[in-house]
Amino acid sequence: MKGQRLVLILLSSLLVGCAVDVKPWQRDQLAEQKMQLVTDPMEQSFDEHIYFSKEAASGGKGVGGGGCGCN
Amino acid sequence: MGSLTVEQQAGYWVGRFKAMASPCEVLMEASNRSDAVALAQSAYDEVKRIEQKFSRYRDDNIIYKINTSQGRAVEVDDEMANLLDYADHCYQLSEGRFDITSGLLRQAWKFDGSANLPPMELIERLKSSISWKKVDWQRPYITLPSGMEIDLGGIGKEYAVDTSINLLKQKTAASLLINFGGDLAVTAPRKSGGGWCVAVDSPDRVGSSTGQEIELKQGALATSGDAQRYLLKEGVRYSHILDPTTGWPVVDAPRSVTVFAASCTEAGILASLSMMHGSGAEAFLNEQQIKSWVVR
Amino acid sequence: MQLKNRTLRRQLSLATCALLTGIPGQASSADWVVDAGVMSYSESDRVSAVKTIATGQRLTEETTISVTVLVDTLTGASPNGASAATTSQTFTTASGTAYTATEKETPLRDFEDTRTAISSSWEQVLNRLFRLKLGADISTEDDYDSLGLNASLSRDFNNRLTTVTVGAAITQDTITPSGGTPVERSATDGTTLAIQSKEEEKSTTDLLLGVTQILSRTTLTQLNYSYSLVDGYMSDPYKIVSEVDAVTGNTTGYRYEKRPDSRIRQSVNWTTAHHLTEDVVHFTYRYFWDDWGIDSHTFDLKYRYEIGAGHYLQPQVRYYMQSAADFYRHSLVDSEVLPNYLSSDQRLGEMSSYTIGLKYGFPVFTDGRLSLRIAYMQQSGDSSPSDAIGSQKQVDLFPTLEAMIVNVNFNIPF
């Protein structure tokens, strides 16, 4: 079940991807700092530590970052 | 290569040839004729190499390949990549006024001293194909949208002066002056301790001196401006310096600006940029503390 | 403009120099960017933490090197895992300090810890399409040390509209509680401790597959799948579980917790950024599941409202919910057969949490940025579960957690 869900999401994102063509010179807005998927890495690192120490779920955004006891 | 001549003057040798549509000369404090010929030949070979590699009038070079790439990525060598990086920096620093894709505007503007201004629609149409921003430059790949063109004419001659100077410096410690159509550079002070005397041409009377003589011991001079190339309509003198951001010539630009800098390429860019400031050229040159000579 | 003009000539000189000496990219010269941030996290009557981070990044056209130093100070009280009871309860720490929870109060253990972590990464453009990133982290606490290595490789496809990233990380942790780790599941009267070992280990392997896609001139989306395998000691050496009488519900004793020594975590994380005329919306959804029986959903929405002149306000809402781990128990009944695994850590219980926050950012100096954020978090679960016995019905078996988060971040390029 879970596997299927993943494949579906992946497929739909690729399908949408094929339909567009954004030329390099049209990517000015996408290149702005505020459009980065992680706009503020420091804030994210703070938040991830808080949530890691309070919730069972973690990760998802990337690899690495370091472990902690976080009780 | 019969077009290269070398002759002896009082205290130095001079090699002459034609390249990049300009008269070129190399002044050398060489000790004998064969050294002088070898040095002049090297400069000649170097300027021809650059002309062949970067001229937009050829159909066998990288410029042609890029201009006919129809939107496909073209891989370029290190030298071309360095020039494109440089063009990119100049574009950024000049806020779009220096743009190697602006050559298309020449299709509209013929600077023959007449009052014939091109139709607005033509300029607007050409402008849509002009903007370095539209070019995808990811060293070493350049992707030029079809319909656009690049042209290194704005820096080619000055660049050739600098590469020739660098090449000759490796061959001799003697003092040299290279002059390609008025853009020139000197390697070192002469044996006497003095420099080479250079006269700044008056744009109205080509070949005659304005009375300003510069003694050049080291560094380079480049001049922007040309007496024959302008349009005159209703009392407004349109210089041949085109502003790619408007598609129109710069109004009230000086007739010529000569700039002194460490290298000819730098002097050339500074001279062109100051022309772009029109009536503000002198203010720009002062603000940037650039050693220059302006003719109005 | 004035400032820019003064540097124009110098920049042109640098660029020309690079051109003529044939050193590519020198003119854009290496830039250092320094980020510094301070965050205060405080739970009402419980833990408060102050985190300080500083990151230095050196950016060139093809390489990014980054070094981050983090110092984290925690003080306050944390639940020891025992349930609140209708009588007062007394416990003793390994170092011999006694503490008491009065009636109906959730037992909290005072603690203090300082964590220092250093992480560094090196990111290199390999060629037109490939980028490689390598990283290392080291972190140390009084009772916990961690060492990690990570690598990820990205490739652009489809005229750079699509980027595929594969990543892997390994982390090795060492747990050394003062006084050693207790024997898992062993009974304790709250004052004595049977030592299992001085030191325990845990190793983690993370794998990630991600696709980033440009959907339009204004929309960017990313889908990541993460798989993580953890092996080793995952119990909390400080946490105990209350044992209660099957009829009265009164506490009769305590047991140290025990969690499985292996865990497989998986998640799908979907992030989208959309650019309106000026404003930007970020939305993230994560589905997480593991083989401990936990399923969780996280929704996060941020709206960046541009006030003008580089000033912005960014409200944020985050909602999180999770199901309980199979072995989560708020308490044990003293007559039952002791389960293989047990923990009353609220982190493993069924609960939901929300965070609301507001951030204000503005430019400082020439290219610097400063931001201030204040956020409120609340986490709650079932305070009166249906399986509560006798006196347990009079106490809060899942106390609600409230916390305030304040942080200041500073970013300056040199």
The answer, yes or no, to whether residue B213 has pLDDT greater than 90, is no
> Which residues on C lie below 8 Å from B289 (Cβ)?
9
Q: Measure CB to CB from residue B265 to each of C19, C27, C28 and give the nearest one.
A: C19
Same domain, residue pair B204 and B235: yes
Q: What is the per-residue pLDDT for C26?
A: 34
C146 Cβ partners below 8 Å, 6+ apart? A66, A67, A68, C117, C137, C138, C139, C140, C171, C172, C173, C174
Question: Among A25, A26, A27, which would you mutate to test the B interface (most chain B Cβ atoms within 10 Å of its Cβ)?
Answer: A25
pLDDT digits (tens, 9 = 90+) for B55-96: 988 888 999 999 999 988 888 888 899 999 999 989 988 888
Provide the CATH number for the domain around residue B260: 3.10.520.10
CA C176, chain centre distance (Å): 21
On the question of pLDDT at B269 being above 60, the answer is yes
Chain A, 11 to 70: residues with Cβ < 8 Å from chain C are: 13-14, 16-18, 20-22, 24, 26-27, 29-30, 32, 34-37, 39-43, 45-46, 49-51, 53-69
Cα→Cα distances C126→A24, B86, C200, Å: 20, 22, 40
Residue C82 structure tokens: 């025992």
Q: Hey, of C71, C150, C153, C379, which one would you mutate to test binding to chain A, going by the most A CBs within 10 A of its CB? A: C150
The shortest CB-CB distance from C16 to any of B141, B266, B287 is to: B266
Residues of B in contact with C22 (CB under 8 A): 78-79, 82
* Number of C-beta neighbours around residue C188 at 10 A: 17
Q: Which of C269, C273, C266, C147 has the alpha carbon at shortest distance from C218? A: C273
| Partners of residue B201 on adjacent β-strands | B209
Average pLDDT for chain C: 88
User: What residue in C sits closest to B159 (Cα-Cα)?
Assistant: C20
Average pLDDT over residues C191-219: 87
Q: Do residues B14 and B26 touch, judged by C-beta distance below 8 A?
A: yes
CA of A25 vs chain B CAs: smallest distance (Å): 5
- Asked if B82 and C15 come within 8 Å (Cβ–Cβ), the reply is no
pLDDT at position A2: 47
Domain match, B169 and B281 both: no
One domain for residues B138 and B163: no
Residue from B69, B250, B55 nearest B156 by CA: B55
Inter-chain touch B288–C5, beta carbons under 8 Å: yes
Q: What is the pLDDT of residue B186?
A: 93
Q: How do strand C262-275 and strand B12-19 relate by DSSP bridges?
A: unpaired
What is the mean predicted confidence (pLDDT) over B146-173?
91
* End residue of a domain, out of B125, B151, B177: B151
Task: Give residue C24's pLDDT.
Answer: 44
- With CB atoms and an 8 Å threshold, state whether B166 touches C20: yes
Q: State the average pLDDT over residues B195-213.
A: 62
Residues B119 and B235 in one domain: no
Chain C contact set for B97 (CB, 8 A)? none
Tell if the CB–CB gap between A65 and C304 is shorter than 8 Å: no
- Interchain CB contact of B144 with C (< 8 Å): no
Among B72, B78, B82, the strongest candidate for a mutation testing the C interface, having the largest count of C CBs within 10 A, is B82
Residues B209 and B223 in one domain: yes
Please, which residues 13-42 of chain A have a Cβ atom closer than 8 Å to chain B? 23-25
What is the distance between the alpha carbons of residues B160 and B43, in angstroms, rounded to a whole number?
A: 9
Of B120, B151, B182, the position where a domain reaches its end is B151
Cα-based distances in Å from C276 to B141, B196, C279, C359: 31, 61, 5, 19
3-state SS, chain C, equals CHHHHHHHHHHHHHHHHHHHHCCCCHHHCCEEEEEEEEEEEEECCCCEEEEEEEEEEEECCCEEEEEEEEEEEEEEEEECCCCCCCCCEEEECCCCCEEEECCCCCCEEEEEEEEEEEEEEEEEECCCCEEEEEEEEEEECCCEEEEEEEEEEEEEECCCCEEEEEEEEEEEEEECCCCCEECCCCEECCCCCCEEECCEEEEEEEEEEEEEEECCCCEEEEEEEEEEEEEECCCCCCCEEEEECCCCCCEEEEEECECCCEEEEEEEEEEEEEECCCCEEEEEEEEEEECCCCEEEEEEEEEEEEEECCEEEEEEEEEEEECCCCCECCCEECCCCCCCCEECCHHHCCEEEEEEEEEEEEEECCCEEEEEEEEEEEEEECCCCCCCCHHHHHCCCCCCEEEEEEEEEEEEEC
Q: In the prediction, which pLDDT does A27 show?
A: 64
Summarize the confidence of residues A12-24 as an average pLDDT. 53
Identify the pLDDT of residue B121: 85
Instruction: Report the chain A residue with the minimal C-alpha distance to residue B136.
Output: A24
* pLDDT value of residue C7: 67
Mark whether B130 and B91 lie in a shared domain.
yes
Are B269 and B294 part of one and the same domain? yes
CB atoms inside a 10 Å sphere around CB B60: 10
Nearest Cα to C149, choosing from C83, C203, C99? C203
pLDDT of residue B239 exceeding 80: no
Question: C235-274 pLDDT, tens per residue?
Answer: 998 899 999 999 999 999 999 999 999 999 999 999 999 9
Q: Report residue B209's pLDDT band, with 50, 70 and 90 as the boundaries.
A: very low
The confidence score (pLDDT) of residue C269 equals 96
Q: How close is the nearest chain C Cα to the Cα of B249, in Å? A: 23
Give percent above pLDDT 90 in chain A.
Answer: 7
Cβ of A24 and B131 within 8 Å? no
For residue B131, the chain A residues in CB contact (below 8 A) are: 25
C167 alpha carbon, distance to own chain's centre: 19
Mean residue pLDDT of chain B comes to 86
Interface probe with B: pick from C12, C21, C23, C127, most Cβ of B within 10 Å? C12
> Residue B138's closest chain A neighbor by CA?
A24
In this predicted structure, what is the pLDDT of residue C144? 92
Clarify whether residues B25 and B145 are in a common domain: no
Residues B167 and B24 in one domain: yes
Q: Does B163 touch chain C (CB under 8 A)?
A: yes
Residue C28: per-residue pLDDT: 40
Say which residue the tokens 């070493």 belong to.
B140
C-beta contacts of C89-92 below 8 A and 24+ residues apart = C89/C190, C89/C251, C90/C190, C90/C191, C91/C190, C91/C191, C92/C190, C92/C191, C92/C192
How much is the pLDDT for B229?
62
* A10-36 mean pLDDT: 61
User: Do B131 and A25 lie within an 8 Å CB cutoff?
Assistant: yes
Lowest-confidence pick of A54-58, B224-228, B232-236, C28-32: C28-32
Q: State the smallest CA–CA distance between residue B54 and chain C in angstroms.
A: 15
Residue C389, Cα to own-chain centre: how many angstroms?
35
Q: What is the DSSP string of B226-267?
A: -TT-EEEETTEEEEEEEETTTTEEEET--SEEEEEESSHHHH
User: Which one has a higher pLDDT value, C395 or A25?
Assistant: C395
The shortest C-alpha distance from C252 to chain A (Å) reads 26
Q: Say whether C226 and A36 touch across the interface (CB within 8 A).
A: no
A20 pLDDT above the threshold of 70: no
> If pLDDT is split at 50, 70 and 90, which confidence band does B216 have?
confident
Neighbours of chain A (3+ CB pairs under 8 A): B, C
Question: Average of pLDDT values for B135-162?
Answer: 91
pLDDT for C3 = 40
Q: Which residues of B touch C11 (CB under 8 A)?
A: 89, 93
Residues of B in contact with A24 (CB under 8 A): 134, 136, 143
Of residues C207, C242, C297, the one with CA closest to residue C85: C242
Of all residues in chain C, the one with the smallest CA distance to B286 is C6
Domain count, chain B: 3
With contact defined as beta carbons under 8 Å apart, do A63 and C169 qualify?
Answer: yes
Structural domain harbouring B292:
200-296
Q: How far apart are CA C55 and CA B71, in angstroms?
A: 40
**Residue pair B180/B267 in contact by the 8 Å Cβ criterion:** no
Identify whether residues B144 and B105 lie together within a single domain.
yes
> Which chain B residue is nearest to residue C25, measuring alpha carbons?
B85
- Domains with residue ranges and CATH for chain C: 2-413 (2.40.160)
- Pairwise CA distance, residues B253 & B237, whole Å: 9
Neighbouring chains of C at 3+ CB pairs within 8 Å?
Answer: A, B
Same domain flag for B14 and B159:
yes
Q: Is A7 on the interface with C (CB under 8 A)?
A: no
**Residue B51 corresponds to which tokens in the numbers above?**
């002309």
Partner-chain contact C15 B78, CB within 8 Å:
no
C-alpha B91/C-alpha B99 separation (Å) is 6
Residues B72 and B95 in one domain: yes
Stated pTM of the model: 0.62
CA distance B237 to chain A (A): 35
Tell me the per-residue pLDDT of C344-390, one tens digit each, with 9 for 90 and over. Answer: 999 999 999 999 999 999 988 766 889 999 999 999 999 999 999 99
Query: What number of C-beta contacts closer than 8 Å exist between A and C?
Result: 210
In this predicted structure, the answer to whether residue A3 has a pLDDT above a threshold of 60 is no
Residue B203 CB partners (closer than 8 Å, separation 6+): B225, B226, B227, B255, B256, B295
Averaged pLDDT for residues B255-265: 90
Q: What is the CATH number of the domain that holds B69?
A: 1.10.3980.10
Give the count of alpha carbons within 13 A of C320, CB side only: 23
